[in-house]
C-alpha cells in the first residue's frame, strides 16, 4: 500500500524555501533553486511526480533530489515521475527545482516548475525541516544557478551546486533561501517576461503577491546585469531598491558586489551611506563557464567565501 501526499498536503508536511503556490492541484514555483525540505521515516521508496510546464520551444525542465548527505540526483520533469529506493530509517530529503529556460514565461503564462504529489509507503511519517537562522539572497542567474555545468539551458543548470548551495553545505545550521531570476537587475528585466527587481520583490507573477517571510539577514546580489545603464541611472535605481528591501523585510540588509565588480564603487558607497554591510567579492571567482557565470570550480571557491561572510552576518 502507498500513501499519496497531494500538493496541498505538501504545504504543511514539508518546509518550502523560495516561493511556492498552489494552482490546479499542483505545487508550483517560478524559481530555479526553490526547495522542499523534510524528513521521511518508514518507507522503502519515495516517488516524486512532476509536470513539465516548459515553453514548447524549450528543453524539459529539471529537478534534483538529495537524500541525507548523498549525491544529488537529477531528472527531467518530462519523465513525470522519479522514484528512489529508501530504507525504513529516518532520512532527510531535499527536493529542488533544477533547470529551466529563458523562454519559459514564468510571469504571464505560469510556465513554472510543477509538482503534483509525493508517493511513499502507507506507514511513512513525513515532517518539515527548517533551521532557526534564515538568510534570503535576492539575485540573478548566478544566484539562481544557471550555466554551472556548461552552455546548455536547463540541463546544465546546477542550483544544487552553485555558490549558494556550497555555502549551504558549509553552514548546515543556517537556511539560505534565494529569490533570483536570470538576467535580472534593478533596471533590467529578467528573462521569462520577469520585470526589474523592484516589481518581483513583492510579486510571484503578474497575478499574485508574494508573502514576506522572516529572515535574520537579507543579501542583495544584483547589479551585473545593469551594466548597460549609466552610473547615474544605476545609482538611483539601486538605492531605491535597497531601501524598498529594507522597508519590506525590516531585517539587516547586506549589499554584495557582483563577482565581476560591476558598479563596485557605487554599491560600496550606498552601503556606507545607509549603514549596511558591504560584501566585497574581489578574487572570489576565477573560473567561469562563459566569462561571467561561475562553473563548478568557480562556484566552489565563491561558495566558500560566501559561507565565511554569512557566518559573520548571522552569528
Same domain, 268 and 180: yes
CATH (domain of 300): 3.40.50.1110
Q: Which residues of 117-154 are buried (b: 16+ CB within 10 A; e: fewer)?
A: bbbbbeebebeeeebebbbbbbbbbbbbbbbbbeeebb
| pLDDT tens by residue, 7-47 | 999 999 999 999 999 999 999 999 999 999 999 999 999 99
Q: Which pTM does this prediction carry?
A: 0.97
How far does CA 190 lie from the centroid of its chain? 15
CATH (domain of 6): 2.60.120.260
Q: Can you name the residues that pair with 40 across neighbouring β-strands?
A: 91, 126
Same domain, 146 and 293: yes
Number of domains in the chain: 2
Share of the chain above pLDDT 70, in %: 100
Residue-level pLDDT at 315: 82
Same domain, 161 and 279: yes
Same domain, 233 and 97: no
Q: What are phi and psi of 298, to 5 degrees?
A: -65, -35
Q: What are phi and psi of 308, to 5 degrees?
A: -60, -40
What residues of the chain score a pLDDT lower than 50? Answer: none
| pLDDT tens by residue, 52-104 | 999 999 999 999 999 999 999 999 999 999 999 999 999 999 999 999 999 99
Each as own residue / partner, the long-range contacts of residues 128-133 (CB below 8 Å, 24 or more positions apart, any chain) are: 128/12, 128/13, 128/14, 128/15, 128/37, 128/38, 129/15, 129/37, 129/38, 129/39, 129/92, 130/15, 130/37, 130/175, 131/172, 131/173, 131/174, 131/175, 132/173, 133/173, 133/174, 133/175, 133/216, 133/314
Same domain, 208 and 264: yes
Same domain, 293 and 202: yes
Residue-level pLDDT at 154: 98
Residue-level pLDDT at 41: 98
Same domain, 160 and 255: yes
Same domain, 244 and 149: yes
Same domain, 309 and 160: yes
Residue-level pLDDT at 62: 98
Q: Which of 96, 128, 160 is the last residue of a domain?
A: 128
Same domain, 167 and 103: no
Same domain, 8 and 28: yes
Residue-level pLDDT at 225: 98
Structural domain boundaries enclosing 217: 133-313
Same domain, 154 and 52: no
Confirm if 145 and 160 have CB atoms less than 8 A apart: yes
Amino acid at each position: 500500500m502507498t500513501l499519496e501526499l497531494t500538493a496541498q498536503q505538501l504545504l504543511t508536511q514539508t518546509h518550502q524555501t523560495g516561493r511556492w503556490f498552489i494552482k490546479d492541484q499542483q505545487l508550483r514555483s517560478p524559481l530555479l533553486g526553490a526547495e522542499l525540505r523534510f524528513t521521511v521515516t518508514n518507507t522503502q521508496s519515495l516517488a516524486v511526480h512532476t509536470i513539465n510546464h516548459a515553453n514548447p520551444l524549450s528543453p524539459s525542465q529539471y529537478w534534483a533530489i538529495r537524500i541525507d548527505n548523498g549525491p544529488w540526483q537529477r531528472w527531467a520533469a518530462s519523465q513525470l515521475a522519479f522514484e528512489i529506493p529508501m530504507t525504513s530509517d529516518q532520512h532527510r530529503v531535499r527536493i529542488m527545482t533544477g533547470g529551466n529556460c529563458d523562454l519559459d514565461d514564468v510571469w504571464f503564462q505560469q510556465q513554472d516548475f510543477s509538482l503534483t504529489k509525493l508517493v511513499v509507503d502507507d506507514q511513512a511519517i513525513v515532517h518539515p525541516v527548517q533551521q532557526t537562522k534564515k538568510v534570503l539572497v535576492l539575485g540573478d542567474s548566478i544566484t539562481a544557478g544557471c550555466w554551472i555545468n556548461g552552455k546548455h539551458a536547463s540541463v546544465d543548470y546546477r542550483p544544487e551546486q552553485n555558490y549558494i548551495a556550497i555555502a549551504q553545505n558549509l553552514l548546515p545550521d543556517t537556511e539560505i533561501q534565494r529569490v533570483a531570476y536570470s538576467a535580472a537587475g534593478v533596471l533590467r528585466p529578467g528573462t521569462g517576461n520577469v520585470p526589474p527587481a523592484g516589481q518581483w520583490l513583492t510579486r510571484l507573477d503578474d497575478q499574485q503577491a508574494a508573502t514576506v517571510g522572516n529572515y535574520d539577514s537579507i543579501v542583495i546580489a544584483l547589479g551585473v546585469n545593469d551594466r548597460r545603464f549609466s552610473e547615474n541611472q544605476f545609482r538611483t535605481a539601486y538605492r531605491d531598491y535597497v531601501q524598498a528591501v529594507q522597508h519590506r523585510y525590516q531585517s539587516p540588509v547586506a549589499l554584495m558586489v557582483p563577482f565581476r565588480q560591476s558598479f563596485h564603487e557605487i554599491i560600496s558607497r550606498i552601503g556606507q551611506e545607509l549603514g549596511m554591510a558591504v560584501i566585497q567579492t574581489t578574487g572570489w571567482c576565477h573560473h567561469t563557464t562563459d566569462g561571467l557565470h561561475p562553473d563548478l570550480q568557480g562556484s566552489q571557491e565563491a561558495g566558500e567565501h560566501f559561507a565565511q561572510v554569512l557566518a559573520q552576518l548571522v552569528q
